[in-house]
Structure 1
Amino acid sequence: MAFADSYVGQLRALVGNRLVLMPGARIVIERADGRILLQKRTDFGLWAVPGGNAEEGEDLETLIAREVVEETGLIVTEIEPFGFACNPQYETVQFQNGDRSQYFSLMFYSRSFEGEPAVTDEESSAVGWFAPDGLPDVLPNTARSVKAYLRFKATGIFQMI
């Protein structure tokens, strides 16, 4: 879907660069060896976990499954929530074009997926599996999300970050 046709694209046409509060989701996809999947984003040149914003009439589980397919080519199954990210210090982003968004993201994880990851859209320039303790340069909210996922794995406690 072209950005201009998306809900966010249509909203931006109305409000311009003004700060917009955005519901969304992101996901930590973990391979059997403990490595997690990241995509190198073309907008910031940094790595991030897959994720995105809701379209009209879309629930967050559908959103995250759609975004994973669009961004990595993988089909995720057995998606489970592990936390919620809403700290404006880390969830407020200004894009190169001046658009500003504050995200409220349900964080999911999955250890069950089909396919091999690949660059499948213009949002990514690379995809790869990384050890959680050896991440490349990542967006700050991705670093926090991965740490929250590791705390969740260790404690089973839903993470609010």
Structure 2
Amino acid sequence: MKEYMKEMRKLVGTRPIIMCGSSVIINNPAREVLMIHRTDNDTWCFPGGAVELGEKVEDTAAREVFEETGLILDSLNLFGVFSGEDLHYKYPNGDEVYIVDIVYQSDSYKGEVKLNDEGKDIRFFKINELPERISPPVRPVVEALRNRRS
């Protein structure tokens, strides 16, 4: 079923729901990470999104990366699973979620980076030069990444 989250929102409105998602930390050869400047909350995040019914999380990761960046991933390595109060978020439209984010890492991809309509900017950053406005549910992932690279 496509657009599972939209269908759920029709049933529950803006009430809190658990959202399973998958995102990817994409590294270029200089070990910089790819981030997208989101249009919905004016913050930066890694490419990713919600898992559709029956979809494997690694397939979600690859699909979302392609949709949001135009890149085709050659490999995925599990970085970590993030959940709990730190991933509670209320979107600007009022939708409230508790995210379970299965985060992968990849440094092997094909294609040229191109932005879709979900973002207003996309670029690679050095880990110590990330933008200040990181999406709140992505902050624990960024912290874990910085800790592993230090």
TM category, shorter: over 0.9
Deviates more, 1:65-74 or 1:137-146: 137-146
Q: Is 1:12–2:5 an aligned residue pair? A: no
Deviates more, 1:69-78 or 1:136-145: 136-145
1:21, distance to aligned residue in structure 2 (A): 0.4
1:146, distance to aligned residue in structure 2 (A): 2.5
- Name the aligned partner's letter for residue 43 of structure 1: D
Give distance in 2, aligned partners of 1:44 and 1:64.
21
1:139, distance to aligned residue in structure 2 (A): 1.4
Q: Is 1:81–2:39 an aligned residue pair? A: no
Root mean square deviation of aligned Cα: 1.4
1:43, distance to aligned residue in structure 2 (A): 0.6
Aligned to 1:124: 119
TM-score normalized by structure 2? Answer: 0.92
Give distance in 2, aligned partners of 1:151 and 1:81.
16
1:100-158 CA distances to partner (integer Å, 9 max, x unpaired)? 011011110000011121112x211110010110001211332321231344457xxxx
- Name the aligned partner's letter for residue 143 of structure 2: K
1:24, distance to aligned residue in structure 2 (A): 1.1
Q: Is 1:104–2:103 an aligned residue pair? A: no
- Name the aligned partner's letter for residue 95 of structure 2: D
Give distance in 2, aligned partners of 1:105 and 1:68.
14
How many residues align? The count is 148
Structure 1 residues not aligned, in runs of 5+:
155-161
Q: Is 1:65–2:62 an aligned residue pair? A: yes
Identity %: 32
TM-score normalized by structure 1? Answer: 0.86
1:62, distance to aligned residue in structure 2 (A): 0.2
> Which stretches of structure 1, 4 residues or more, deviate above 6 A after TM superposition?
none
1:6-42 CA distances to partner (integer Å, 9 max, x unpaired)? 0000010011011010111111001110110000000
Structure 2 residues not aligned, in runs of 5+:
none
Aligned to 1:21: 18
Aligned to 2:35: 38
Give distance in 2, aligned partners of 1:30 and 1:50.
12
- Name the aligned partner's letter for residue 47 of structure 2: P
SS in 2 for 1:133: helix
